[in-house]
Structure formats: structure tokens, C-alpha cells
Amino acid sequence: MLVALGLLALAGAALAQGSAAGTAEVIAQRRAGLKRMGQHMEAMKPVVETGGEVKSLEPRIDDMITWFRGLPALFPPGSDTGDTKALPAIWQDFGKFEATDQALLGQLAKMKQAAAEDDKVGFATMYKALGPQYCGTCHRPFRAR
């Protein structure tokens, strides 16, 4: 009887450990992806500032669109603990979190259009709004400083 209980406790500990490892993995995955999104922003900056052609930026926008479509799935409940700056506010209002992501996706769709047409002025205007408005609108309430 005691042996059986001991085994059960061991199995429980193994399960708990398994889910902690899964959480660490999803946190590492989303942080790596967000870092890549930051790199896209950095890479586009000099092009926009020098009035360069923006058509070549379309693949970066495409990667951002694909990645941000998958963002909500990288924030499963319980992934606010560990090596992360995600705030519990995300899961208190996940609908708002997703809507904020959708707003960014709407702006990215317009930027893709401008890039495809090599509309430098239109692209630059939207690029400048992207960080403070669309990234920042999510970071302010949902990411710890």
C-alpha cells in the first residue's frame, strides 16, 4: 500500500515536471519569435528613413503576418510564470489580448499592400505608427517592464 502510494506520488511529480518543461518551451519559442519580429522592425528602419524602395520589405511583412497570426496560441494559460515578462492580465482578458493582435494584423495587411505597390510614403507613415501604436498597445498592458 505504501509502495503504491509512493509510486503514485512519483508519477504525479513527473507529470508536474513535464508540464513545467512544456511551459518553459513555449515561453522560449514565443520570445525567440518576438525577437525576430524586433529584428524585422530594425531592418526596415534604415530603408524607411532613407526613402529606399520598400518592395523588397514584403517578405519581412509576410513573416510578421504569419507569426502574429499564431501569437495567441503561444500564450497558453499558466505560461505567465518562469522566464517571461507576460503579465497575468493576458489571461484575465484574453479577448482583448487577441483583439490587440488582430489590430496589428490589420495594419500589417495594409503595409503589405503598400510594399507590393512600392508606395514608399504610405509605407513609411504606417511603419512609424507600428511600434508606438500597434506593438506598444499590447506591450503597455500585457508585458512587464
Q: How far is the CB of 18 from ligand HEC (least distance, A)?
A: 20
| DSSP per-residue letters across 42-109 | HHHHHHHHTT---GGGHHHHHHHHHHHHTGGGG--TTTTSSS--B-THHHHSHHHHHHHHHHHHHHHH
**Of the two residues 6 and 82, which places its CB atom closer to ligand HEC in the complex?**
82
**Of the two residues 6 and 88, which places its CB atom closer to ligand HEC in the complex?**
88
**Of the two residues 18 and 76, which places its CB atom closer to ligand HEC in the complex?**
76
Contact positions vs ligand HEC (CB under 6 A): 27, 30-31, 34-35, 37-38, 41, 71, 84-86, 97, 100-101, 104, 130, 134-135, 138-139, 142-143
Task: Give CA torsion, residues 47, 48, 49, 52, to 10 deg.
Answer: 50
Q: How far is the CB of 24 from ligand HEC (least distance, A)?
A: 11
**Of the two residues 80 and 118, which places its CB atom closer to ligand HEC in the complex?**
80
Q: How far is the CB of 61 from ligand HEC (least distance, A)?
A: 10
Query: Quick check: 57 and 44 in contact, CB under 8 A?
Result: yes
Q: 10 Å Cβ neighbour count for 109?
A: 11
